[in-house]
A and B are shown apart, each in its own frame.
Chain A
Amino acid sequence: ACSNGDGTKTNSGSSTGATVLNIGMPNGPQTENHNPFLGSSAGASLGYRWMIFEPLVMINGIKPTEPGKPWLATEWKWDANYTKLSFTIRDGVKWSDGQPMTAEDVAYSFQLRKDHDGLNQDAIPYGSITATGNKVDLTFPRSQFVNQNKILTVFVVPKHQWSTLKDPTQDPLKSPIGTGPYTVKSFTPQTTTLTLRDSYWQDLPKVKELRYTSYNDNNAQTTALANGSSEWSFVFVPNVKAVYQDKDPKNHKLWFPANLGIHGLWINTTKKPFDNPALRRAMNMVVNRDDIFQQGEAGYFYPKIESVTGIPTPAGESFIAPEYKDKNHSVDLDGAKKELSDAGFKLEGDVLKDPTGKPVTITLTDPAGWSDYQTDLEIIKDNLSTIGIKATIDKANQDAWFKNIDTGNFDAAMHWTNGGATPFDIYQNIMDGKILKPVGKAGVSGNYGRFNSPEATKALDQYANAADDATRTAALNTLQKIMVEQMPVIPTSASNVGGLYSTKNWVGWPDEQNQYGPAQPTQQNALQIILNLKPAGSQ
């Protein structure tokens, strides 16, 4: 992807202050598709849809509990235990074709999602949608506490364009009209160029032009980052220090904060002897998360889970129950052995025998091509052998693997959980009894480990429908307790919303000190970051 000339050509005059920002993603050639609803569109896969279409409320992805920032809505109010929502729409916002944005447009944007299941990615059960003056009122059949952020961050599309589309779910939207500060200037399969509008309802950003380049693979993206022709990206770089950071230690930066979603070893809780929580706890105690982080995740990609509750920090810091506040995972071989012998397991030589005297073996399975999970499994396999569990790794075919996970036909597998504004999504995905299906039955959307705990189901239900925060906190604390004691999933890493960026031409990026948004260029907060960037010379 990159030859010597790149950096200087695209960033000519960086000494006098840059005007262009080069953003890259390793997603291969794109087709001209700016439809913001479609995850397959170039706009979504490169992330520039957020430069064109703006949300009603901007919520910091790594601090979902903080109140959102008013964006196209100046005010919003939840009523009746999160079954009613009313927005006050900002005045003076203009679409890029010059027409004013109105409450009508907002209502239409919700209506679109209500009418088309394909566009309603969060499966929000919309009730009535009404626009009156500069207000938009929504109702929902049930409490939307857990979905609140998803609804607030909905982006707005212009009714006058979208109502003319034949099929909004299949339209490539060749000339998108949005409220954002940028418009599409040109498109090629490799590069989409966005240019700054003349006017915007906020201060115009300093970046005059955004170039979104789609590199064909991670190698190409990495090279581009290393030589500076790509200034911002989200990509897995093995050995990131040598390959990327050391190339320009002053400017090559990365920040990978966690969000509220996790990866972990899901265990089939119906299989003997893994139905014994003591065994699962013991397993948890020997998993070396540092190795997983350093070797599987190259020391930065998926941050490791510290808290024993499985809640990623710092994103979920505030949710952690008092009793687990400072309890972190650490490898504890003796503790694990004790746990096991207390439960009647016997370690004979280097073979663990369950109470009935059978050796404990386990098959760890994940699709062949998922190299990071495979690496994780290799590490876990090693770790488990310290307590005498013989693990074998099955590198399955992806489809077969999905099917086996779905039907509960597995011993243990690395898998992710849902994520959301609170740890609820994580726990619901792991423990919800309402979606529990017996082993062999497909169609579950979570609880792959067939974890059966009425207590957890009750707590989840309480949390989702609670009328006050105290009930919610109590419910969440219960869930944490169940998680710690029963360990249906052994959490290893958090999901991330990070990015790699260069401070050579532009400064003002989010980082550990200034956590105003996730550093990932394809997140909604990317717009905030762009608005925050200043040429490097100006400081």
Chain B
Amino acid sequence: MTATIAAVTPAATPTPAKRRRLRFVANPKAATGLVVLAFFCLIAIIGKWIAPYDPSARSSDLIQAPSAKHWFGTTHLGQDIFSQVLVGTRGVMYVGLLAGLVATALSILIGVSAGFLGGAADDSLSALSNVFLVIPALPLIIIVASTIPSAGDLMVALVIGFTSWAWGARVLRAQTLSLRRRDYVEAARATGESTWRIITFEIMPNLTAIIASGFVGTVIFAVMSEITLAFIGISTISEWNWGTILFWAQSQQALAQGAWWWFVPAGLAIAILGTALSLINFGIDEFVSPRLRSSGHTRVKTNDGHSVRMRVGFTPVLSSKQAPATPVVRRKENAA
């Protein structure tokens, strides 16, 4: 989430167009992130079918370390942890994406209207989002979720979505505010476009990068929150997800029993998913503001044979032999 701060400013660079959109995928970070994300999405869809066991089914292998039979070992009931991780992916992705969608929709609604309408509407809407921003989200989510009778996946997703739109709204508002003053918005108005058309066709397309990055950020947050809720036993754990696995590991004191395999795979999966999403966000950030790209070749061979890093303030001087000498006819230097 924090990475978006930098993304707000560089709106000045001409924003994406069709062909350049594809270039986003060419960003190695984004590409890696997308591949991993696609992998998790795939697991979320087919996990149920490829799981070797029913994740809830008991067997006689109690608390077994990973083996060929049980890749990630088993629980105290002899359940196969590998299957639990596979099947649990769906819940994680579902909640993450749904919460991300809800929050993004809200942030667009609130952020864009605050930015576009201005005046009192802006004041009250941005006060609202600032309040939500300052109030610690996770404790609020924990408390709200703990008060809901049956906090299933849908409910958890909604709660997370409804409490975590504020950051996106803030960023979008700032951006809309700057877009609203752009000449092309004024020009569209002068052409006679209606307000809603200006918002949806002139402003929104220019917000896509920010919306996408906000969406990804919220998904990260939602996944973390969801897993946290499951881990501390607040949301329903009837459906498997990674948090549920961790919940059981914790309540059965997997640590004390030395059953590291019980909580390592799920946690690792979270971390990898989180990293993938962060990478996508980097990709978006770098796409919006190419300066942030970590430059490829930064080492240069200089005049005196040293190799130096390119840096601000001290331009490297390449060995002169590289310079293609164009024949130049010069007059003689005048004597002083």
A interface residues, Cβ below 8 angstroms from B: 218-219, 222-223, 226, 237-239, 242-243, 295, 368-369, 371, 375, 378-379, 382, 393-397, 399-400, 403
Q: Is the CB of A395 within 8 A of B248?
A: no
Q: Is the CB of A243 within 8 A of B151?
A: no
CA distance A242 to B77 in the complex (A): 17
CA distance A371 to B247 in the complex (A): 9
Residue in chain B with minimal CB distance to A396: B150
CA distance A412 to B255 in the complex (A): 33
Q: Is the CB of B251 within 8 A of A371?
A: yes
Q: Is the CB of B256 within 8 A of A219?
A: yes
Residue in chain A with minimal CB distance to B155: A397
Q: What's the A-B contact tally at a CB cutoff of 8 Å?
A: 64
Q: Is the CB of A395 within 8 A of B77?
A: no
Task: Report 7 cross-chain contacts, Cβ distance below 8 Å, ordered by A residue.
Answer: A219-B256, A239-B257, A295-B58, A369-B237, A378-B58, A396-B238, A400-B150
Question: How far apart are A281's CB and chain B's nearest CB, in angstroms?
Answer: 24
Question: How far apart are A63's CB and chain B's nearest CB, in angstroms?
Answer: 32
State whether the Cβ of B233 lies closer than 8 Å to any Cβ in chain A.
Answer: yes
CA distance A422 to B166 in the complex (A): 60
Q: Is the CB of A397 within 8 A of B236?
A: yes
Contacts of B4 in A (CB 8 A): none
Known: A394-B238, A397-B151. A375 touches B76 (CB 8 A): yes
* Cβ-neighbour of B236 out of A239, A368, A403 (below 8 A): A368
* Chain B contacts with A in 248-279, Cβ cutoff 8 A: 248, 251-253, 255-257
B interface residues, Cβ below 8 angstroms from A: 56, 58, 62-63, 76-77, 148-151, 233, 235-238, 247-248, 251-253, 255-257
CA distance A280 to B56 in the complex (A): 25
Contacts of B151 in A (CB 8 A): 397
Residue in chain A with minimal CB distance to B259: A239
Contacts of B77 in A (CB 8 A): 295, 375, 378-379
CA distance A243 to B248 in the complex (A): 17
Q: Is the CB of A242 within 8 A of B149?
A: no
Q: Is the CB of B150 within 8 A of A243?
A: no
Q: Is the CB of B252 within 8 A of A371?
A: yes
Contacts of A243 in B (CB 8 A): 253, 256-257
* Cβ-neighbour of B253 out of A218, A396, A399 (below 8 A): A218
Contacts of B62 in A (CB 8 A): 295
Given contacts A242-B257, A368-B238, A395-B238, 18 further A-B contacts (CB under 8 A): A219-B253, A223-B256, A237-B256, A238-B76, A239-B63, A239-B257, A295-B62, A368-B237, A369-B247, A369-B251, A371-B252, A378-B56, A382-B58, A393-B56, A395-B237, A396-B236, A397-B149, A397-B150
* Cβ-neighbour of A371 out of B58, B150, B248 (below 8 A): B248
Question: How far apart are A241's CB and chain B's nearest CB, in angstroms?
Answer: 11
Contacts of A375 in B (CB 8 A): 76-77
Question: How far apart are B254's CB and chain A's nearest CB, in angstroms?
Answer: 9
Question: How far apart are A256's CB and chain B's nearest CB, in angstroms?
Answer: 18
Q: Is the CB of A393 within 8 A of B238?
A: yes
Contacts of B237 in A (CB 8 A): 368-369, 395
Question: How far apart are A293's CB and chain B's nearest CB, in angstroms?
Answer: 13
CA distance A189 to B58 in the complex (A): 41
Q: Is the CB of A379 within 8 A of B58?
A: yes
CA distance A382 to B251 in the complex (A): 22
Contacts of A219 in B (CB 8 A): 253, 255-256
Q: Is the CB of B149 within 8 A of A400?
A: yes
CA distance A526 to B249 in the complex (A): 33
Residue in chain A with minimal CB distance to B151: A397
CA distance A226 to B255 in the complex (A): 13
* Cβ-neighbour of B233 out of A222, A369, A393 (below 8 A): A369
Q: Is the CB of B252 within 8 A of A238?
A: yes
CA distance A156 to B77 in the complex (A): 47
CA distance A368 to B230 in the complex (A): 10
Question: How far apart are A411's CB and chain B's nearest CB, in angstroms?
Answer: 15
Q: Is the CB of B58 within 8 A of A238?
A: no
Contacts of B256 in A (CB 8 A): 219, 222-223, 226, 237-238, 243
CA distance A524 to B61 in the complex (A): 41
* Cβ-neighbour of A222 out of B56, B251, B253 (below 8 A): B253
Question: How far apart are B267's CB and chain A's nearest CB, in angstroms?
Answer: 17
Question: How far apart are B163's CB and chain A's nearest CB, in angstroms?
Answer: 19
Most buried by B among A239, A378, A394: A239
Contacts of A222 in B (CB 8 A): 253, 256
Contacts of B148 in A (CB 8 A): 397
CA distance A223 to B251 in the complex (A): 15
Question: How far apart are B94's CB and chain A's nearest CB, in angstroms?
Answer: 17
Question: How far apart are B327's CB and chain A's nearest CB, in angstroms?
Answer: 81
Q: Is the CB of B149 within 8 A of A399?
A: yes
* Cβ-neighbour of A237 out of B56, B58, B150, B253 (below 8 A): B253
Residue in chain A with minimal CB distance to B150: A397
CA distance A198 to B123 in the complex (A): 72
Contacts of A239 in B (CB 8 A): 63, 76, 257
Which are the 5 A-B pairs with shortest beta-carbon distances? A369-B233, A395-B238, A400-B149, A368-B237, A371-B251
CA distance A223 to B76 in the complex (A): 19
Residue in chain A with minimal CB distance to B232: A369
Contacts of A369 in B (CB 8 A): 233, 237, 247, 251
Residue in chain B with minimal CB distance to A372: B251
Most buried by A among B58, B235, B256: B256
Contacts of A218 in B (CB 8 A): 253
CA distance A399 to B234 in the complex (A): 11
CA distance A395 to B247 in the complex (A): 13
Residue in chain B with minimal CB distance to A395: B238
CA distance A242 to B56 in the complex (A): 25
CA distance A239 to B257 in the complex (A): 7
Contacts of B235 in A (CB 8 A): 368
Most buried by B among A238, A399, A400: A238
Contacts of B56 in A (CB 8 A): 378, 393
CA distance A337 to B56 in the complex (A): 26
CA distance A371 to B76 in the complex (A): 11
Q: Is the CB of A368 within 8 A of B253?
A: no
Known: A368-B238, A382-B58. A238 touches B150 (CB 8 A): no
Most buried by B among A218, A396, A397, A399: A397
CA distance A534 to B182 in the complex (A): 87
